[in-house]
Amino acid sequence: MPRAARVDSAHITPSAHYTGFVWYRHHLAEEPFVTPFGRLAHGLLAPVSWGARVAFGLDVEHLLLQRHLLIDALLREAVERRGVRQVVEIACGLSPRGRRFCARYPDLRYLEADLPPMAARKRLLLHEEGWLDARHQVRPVDILAEQGVHDLQALFSGLDPEVPVLVITEGLVNYFALPVIEAFWGRLATQLQQFPSATYLTDLYPDLREHPRYRQLRWGIDLVGRLTRGRYYLHYRGDSAIVDGFGRCGFGDVRVHDPKELDAAPPDAWPALVRVVEARV
């Protein structure tokens, strides 16, 4: 029986409504990306976010924005300086990135993908706004599928193998235990080998045990796990372990980015908790 039939990650999907509302609140998304559930979840969690900010100096929305803006900056660089013309955003949820980048770069092809129900919802949203066309599309995918209509091979078969590609995942990888997500990275690296050049960008929360806010972070991620009826894992002990781990999955050139690289990075009280990994096969 394929693994996708045994491991189900649909419980993660509601979190996309919350982040979708955060992108809107910070002027990164237009109103159609807001759902009633996203607005409600944001309101219900506001006291928790406020408490974490006041008691621990941890700002949840700031953490989310750090990863989102850093991925945006690296994607812009790839499009403007490295000739990337095809983007695949896996686990796109209600992210407005595809809409923003298609509006800004008329030559860009942007494929968004998510589990079938979220993919259907995103397709409808973009269709109703008149934003779907031949170069901006949405497809169903399950990163856990080793074979079948929702596997990576089916997703990548729709791309031009002669053109450089960039793949994004955001807000996804820490929901899975390391062997599960490393198996996905291995399958992804295999798919990416067919392109003349291929880059993978993902945010990742490492297991930074020396961090002054480590205990509070653990408390926060346990809460995220409980709210999404699953678990939330921290992967790798630091930057060099990240490079080694991605190397084992088939990525030869791996860079680990810290949000402090962002041009407009606001001053932070603590070293950053999130990283963005830029990995090439």
Ligand X SMILES: C[S@@+](CC[C@H](N)C(=O)[O-])C[C@H]1O[C@@H](n2cnc3c(N)ncnc32)[C@H](O)[C@@H]1O
Note the residues at the interface with ligand X (CB under 6 A). Answer: 9, 12-13, 15-16, 19-20, 90-93, 95, 114-115, 118, 141-144, 170-172
Residues 6 or more apart whose CB falls under 8 angstroms from that of 236 comprise 204, 206, 207, 242, 245
- Is the Cβ of residue 16 or residue 79 nearer to ligand X in the bound state? 16
Give the nearest distance from C-beta 15 to ligand X in angstroms.
4
Within the chain, residue ranges assigned H as helices are 3-6, 15-25, 36-56, 60-81, 97-104, 116-128, 152-156, 178-192, 214-227, 239-248
Task: Report the C-alpha gap between 220 and 214 in whole angstroms.
Answer: 10
User: Among 136, 139, 101, which residue's Cα sits nearest to residue 118?
Assistant: 139
- Residue 44's Cβ-count burial label (10 Å; 0-12, 13-18, 19+) is exposed
CA distance 211 to 274: 12
Nearer to ligand X, 70 or 243 (CB): 70
Q: Nearest distance from residue 172's CB to ligand X, in Å? A: 5
The residue written with tokens 């820490």 in the block is 174
Which residue lies nearer to ligand X by CB, 174 or 243? Answer: 174
Would you say 12 or 166 has its CB closer to ligand X? 12
**Which residue minimizes CB distance to ligand X?**
93
Nearer to ligand X, 4 or 163 (CB): 4
Q: Where are the alpha helices (DSSP H) in 82-207?
A: 97-104, 116-128, 152-156, 178-192
Report in angstroms how near the CB of residue 142 gets to ligand X at its nearest. 5
Minimum distance, C-beta of residue 162 to ligand X, in the bound complex (Å): 26
- Give me 201's structure tokens: 């960008």
Nearest approach, Cβ of 117 to ligand X (angstroms)?
8
Tell me how far, at minimum, the Cβ of 135 lies from ligand X, in Å: 20
* 266: nearest Cα among 63, 1, 106: 63
CB nearer to ligand X: give 91 or 111. 91
- Decide if 89 contacts 112 (C-beta within 8 A): yes
In the complex with ligand X, the residue whose CB is nearer, 64 or 254, is: 64
Report the nearest approach of ligand X to the CB of residue 90 (Å).
6
